[in-house]
Amino acid sequence: MLHRGAQIMRWAVTNRVDIALVVFIGLNLLAMHLIPDWQTVPFLIIWLTLTAIYGVRLWHLGSTVLTVLTVTLATGGLIGWQVLRHKQDWDYLAEVPLLATMFVIMVWHSRRRVAAMEEMKRVSEHNLVLLDQQRQFLQDVSHELGTPVAIALGHVELIEQSATDQAIAADARVAADELLRMRRLTSRLLLLASTDAPDFLCLAPVDVEEILVDTLHRWSHIPRRWSLGTLADVRVEGDADRLTLALDALIENAVDHTDPDGVIELSSRVEGETVVVAVADSGTGIPAREVKRIFDRFSRVDTGRSRAAGGFGLGLAIVKAIAEAHRGSIQVRSNVGKGSVFKLRLPALVGAVSERSLDGRVSLK
């Protein structure tokens, strides 16, 4: 007997909202019966309360239908009795099934919405798991490939240096080039896999002019018409190594798509609180339909190009990742046959923007 009483108490605590609702409805029905002057005011209060409670506490569809059916019979029966006694008009009786139908439809749509949100949450959690697995896979592959590639590259370079036969030396050089490409691929995969790591950036004030000049000097041995455009005297809060890597990727892309007599220009300017670093080329350009996807991983605009120019499709993806890690962005403006301009936008360091702007166009051939 005591056990049964304890079960009833636990049930009452668990369902206290439902019990309170039933008591509240009963009191309103009693008021509607005992106080004729109120007419259908308690009836409307019942339905409004039912809707409010449902909005806070989403019942299962079966429980809701049972509750609505009970309330409909109770309120409808009482109003029908008052109509028969000529204390209410027939119009009030029509409101009962109308409100019940509207309430059930609201419940049905709400349940559909909840089910859709739960499915979206499940898919989102599944996608997060897949992304984490992909990131871990890229890290594992990059680490595992690094050692054998380094060993193979060392042996191939020894063969090239010691070979007396020029044909063997040439073949060894080809193998070394491919292994170097493989090492760059693993390095870029590892970089992309670590973009979300807390230690991805080592932030410090970076002089934009200095990093552009240094980058140009490192690439000036490549046969292109190099030039420096306007250089703003400004600093950004960034990782100098990562920003250099992003610039190298942009220049590598420009070199791959520009003829030896084409122009590649580096420049920077300040727009409000943003530093815009631009890499412009007079190369082949990018078709409009391809512009939106060139920053995707493994995206290559023209798969029919040579391997030397085709790359892996990771360079621009790395630029995007580094830009976003610096709370910036990367944009491109391109015309087929006329070249492209890539703009790396970075937040300027507060208080580091000078009014001095260098327009020192330096041409290196």
The whole-number pLDDT of residue 344 equals: 94
- Min mean pLDDT across 130-144, 153-167, 324-338 is at 130-144
Q: In b/e form, how buried is each residue of 339-356, taking b as 16+ CB within 10 angstroms?
A: bbbbbbbbebbeebbeee
Alpha carbons 234 and 207: distance in angstroms, whole number: 6
Give percent of the chain with pLDDT exceeding 70.
Answer: 64
Q: Determine the Cα–Cα distance for residues 332 and 286; give it in Å rounded to an integer.
A: 9
Sign of CA dihedral 5, 11, 17, 21: negative
Which of 206-220, 289-303, 351-365 ranks highest by mean pLDDT? 206-220
pLDDT for the residue numbered 15: 62
- The type of residue at 168 is I
Q: What is the arithmetic mean of pLDDT over 145-159? A: 83
CA distance 117 to 337: 48
pLDDT tens per residue across span 41-95: 566 666 666 665 665 566 666 666 677 777 777 777 766 776 677 666 666 666 6
Instruction: For residue 358, name the pLDDT band (cuts at 50, 70, 90).
Output: very low
How far is it, in rounded angstroms, from Cα 288 to Cα 364?
Answer: 31
CA 360/CA 229 separation, integer angstroms: 7
Mean pLDDT of the chain, nearest integer: 77
Residues 293-307, mean pLDDT to the nearest whole number:
58
pLDDT at res. 57: 60
- Homologous superfamily, domain 204-364: Histidine kinase-like ATPase, C-terminal domain (3.30.565.10)
Q: Rounded distance, CA 150 to CA 11, Å? A: 69
Sign of CA dihedral 211, 212, 217, 218: positive
User: 277: helix, coil or strand?
Assistant: strand
**Are the CB atoms for 286 and 265 separated by under 8 Å?**
no
Query: Phi/psi at 206 (nearest 5 deg)?
Result: -120, 125
In three-state secondary structure terms, 144 is helix
Tokens of 325: 């890690």
Share of the chain above pLDDT 90, in %: 22
In which band, very low, low, confident or very high, does the pLDDT at 343 lie, cut at 50, 70 and 90?
A: very high
Q: Which 3 state secondary structure label does DSSP give 207?
A: strand
Residue from 326, 365, 359 nearest 344 by CA: 326
Which of 74-83, 212-221, 260-269, 283-292 comes out lowest in average pLDDT?
Answer: 74-83
3-state secondary structure of 97: helix
- Domain range summary for the chain, segments of one domain joined by +: 1-194, 204-364
Single pTM value for the model:
0.56
pLDDT at 243 over 90: yes
φ and ψ at residue 231, rounded to 5 degrees: -120, 115
Contact 233, 341 (CB under 8 A): no
The rounded distance, in Å, linking the Cα atoms of 348 and 277 is: 11
Which DSSP category does 38 fall into? G
Q: How many CB atoms sit inside 10 A of residue 118's CB?
A: 10
Q: Please tell me the predicted confidence (pLDDT) of residue 277.
A: 95
Strands (E), the chain: 204-207, 225-228, 231-232, 235-238, 263-271, 274-281, 329-335, 339-347, 357-358, 362-364
The b/e string for 75-99 (b: 16+ C-beta within 10 A; e otherwise) is bbebbeebeeeeebeeebbebbeeb
Cα 242 versus chain centre, distance: 21
The per-residue pLDDT for 359 is 46
215 CA to centre of own chain:
31
Calpha distance 186→146 (Å, rounded): 7
Task: Write out pLDDT tens, residues 94-141.
Answer: 667 767 777 766 777 777 777 788 888 888 888 888 777 777 776 676
From CA 160, how far away is CA 2, in angstroms rounded? 92
Q: Above 60 in pLDDT, residue 226?
A: yes
Distance CA 272, CA 345 (A): 11
